[in-house]
């Protein structure tokens, strides 16, 4: 016959197994939500990197434009000096 301790042991094992399965499922759901959150964060970080790179490129282009403008102004100054020397 089945003794009461065997019945109690069987009930405890079933309850603990079901609780372990439920806790495992909850952990799986939490980890999947964390993965989704991290992928969204990664997309936002990539967008921020792209934005800062475009801003950096804009400043670099502006710096190149200002260097070109300085070169043109220096050429005009050279021509002005030649005109003053010719007069």
In the chain, where the domains are located: 1-87
Cα separation, 54 vs 64, in Å, equals 15
Closest to 77 measured CA to CA, from 61, 85, 62, 64: 85
Q: Diameter of the chain by CA atoms?
A: 129
pLDDT digits (tens, 9 = 90+) for 38-58: 999 999 999 888 888 887 777
- Supply the pLDDT for residue 83: 63
Round to whole Å and give the CA distance between 83 and 76. Answer: 10
What is the rounded CA–CA span in Å between residue 62 and residue 2? 88
Taking only the tens place, the pLDDT of each residue in 8-36 is: 999 999 999 999 999 999 999 999 999 99
Q: Which pLDDT score is estimated for 84?
A: 65
What pTM was computed for the model? 0.55
Q: Residue written as tokens 């070109």? A: 68
Q: Between 85 and 38, where is the model more confident?
A: 38
């Amino acid at each position: 016959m089945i003794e009461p301790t065997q019945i109690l042991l069987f009930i405890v094992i079933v309850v603990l197994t079901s609780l372990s399965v439920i806790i495992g499922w909850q952990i799986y759901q939490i980890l999947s939500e964390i993965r989704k959150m991290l992928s969204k964060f990664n997309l936002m970080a990539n967008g921020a990197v792209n934005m800062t790179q475009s801003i950096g490129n804009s400043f670099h282009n502006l710096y190149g434009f200002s260097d070109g403008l300085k070169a043109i102004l220096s050429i005009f100054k050279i021509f002005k000096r030649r005109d003053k020397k010719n007069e």
